[in-house]
Amino acid sequence: MPARRKRRARRRTLGLALGAGGARGIAHIGVLRAFAKAEIPIDAIVGTSVGALIGAVYAAGQLENFERWVRKFDWPDVLRLFDPVWPRSGLISGTRALDQLAEVMGDWKIEDLAIPFAAVSIDLITGEEILMREGRVLDAIRASISIPGIFVPHRMGRRLLVDGALRNPVPVSHLEEMGSDVRVAVNLHAQPVREIMRSKKARDGSTPGTISAQLINLVDRRLARFRRRGHRSRATDDGQVEPNLFEILTASMTVLEHELARHRLAREPVDVVIGPDVHSIRSFEFHKARKAIHAGLIATEKHLPEIRKALERRGPRRRYWRGRQG
């Protein structure tokens, strides 16, 4: 009787949840570079906000083009991405940034991407969390990055879509429905982030006028008839600086994302949590791309042994086993 052929064991699949965090999310490029360098395949990606942006670029096979683009950014380049429209339902239209992104990555359908991809957004009308797994990639990105108050919400049919970080800043919860055996999350809020620089000295030593102050001034210049002096950051009698509108909105979102990520990752099924050290990068500091990419690469390399171990594990999933953040 001939020997029975051994069945080839199915390879465990890996899903990656890329979290929200504005410019800190450029660290996701470093994360993806570390996986490629280690020859660990990624079988599915779900992203929120900037995580949706980087995840979509990767799934479209355009990460190298995108990385080349953002590595060249200086702070005037960042300002040129934004098109003020205040006082509509946001300060920035988002059309200009999306047009430039389309030039870099092309106009794709989610169904045509090389690996399964999904983006998380929130419908402001119903409060529902929306997982976009089909349709135009650019629509999914535009909806997911729409920080309330800063970007005009993205309307799709009867839905009014905004940043998915309002409810799910690190969307590991969706990897199960995408069929992932091993679930890896990238949390950009592993360390507290300071969006508001209170001292004038600290501000003067960073970006010229700070990105947020420049954006406010850009809005003011474009919409002179609505100008109010209170829009600009002002120094108080004790040398502190009054935060401007961008800083208030981004700081509020950052606090919300930090707390939501902490609570959700404590109770959701995740094998490894990668936490790049990007606490010194504020939400609109895209000109710090090199620093963010390096942070993502270093943080991921630390966790490669854990990830390999999870991929080699046999038997049913251990639903609530979690790796360390960091």
Q: Is 93 a catalytic residue?
A: no
Q: Which two tokens stand for residue 85?
A: 């429209």
Among the listed residues 43, 121, 144, 163, the single catalytic one is: 163
**What amino acid occupies position 101?**
L
**What amino acid occupies position 16?**
L
The answer to whether residue 279 is domain-embedded is yes
The answer to whether residue 239 is domain-embedded is no
Give, for all 326 residues of the chain, the pLDDT tens digit. 445 555 556 789 999 999 999 999 999 999 999 999 999 999 999 999 999 999 999 999 999 999 999 999 887 787 788 787 765 688 888 888 899 999 999 999 999 999 999 999 999 999 999 999 999 999 999 999 999 988 999 999 999 999 999 999 999 999 999 999 999 999 999 877 666 554 444 444 445 455 555 555 555 555 444 444 444 555 555 666 677 777 888 888 888 999 999 999 999 989 999 999 999 998 888 999 999 999 999 999 999 999 999 999 865 454 433 333 44
Domain that holds residue 101: 14-194+269-311
The answer to whether residue 229 is domain-embedded is no
Report the alpha-carbon angle 183-184-188, nearest 5: 145
Among the listed residues 43, 49, 144, 283, the single catalytic one is: 49
Q: How many domains does the chain have?
A: 1
For residue 47, give the CATH number of its domain. 3.40.1090.10
What values do phi and psi take at 95, rounded to 5? -65, -45
Give rounded-to-5 percent helix, strand, coil for the chain. Answer: 45, 15, 40
The answer to whether residue 321 is domain-embedded is no
The answer to whether residue 260 is domain-embedded is no
The answer to whether residue 112 is domain-embedded is yes
Q: Is 43 a catalytic residue?
A: no
The answer to whether residue 304 is domain-embedded is yes
The answer to whether residue 223 is domain-embedded is no
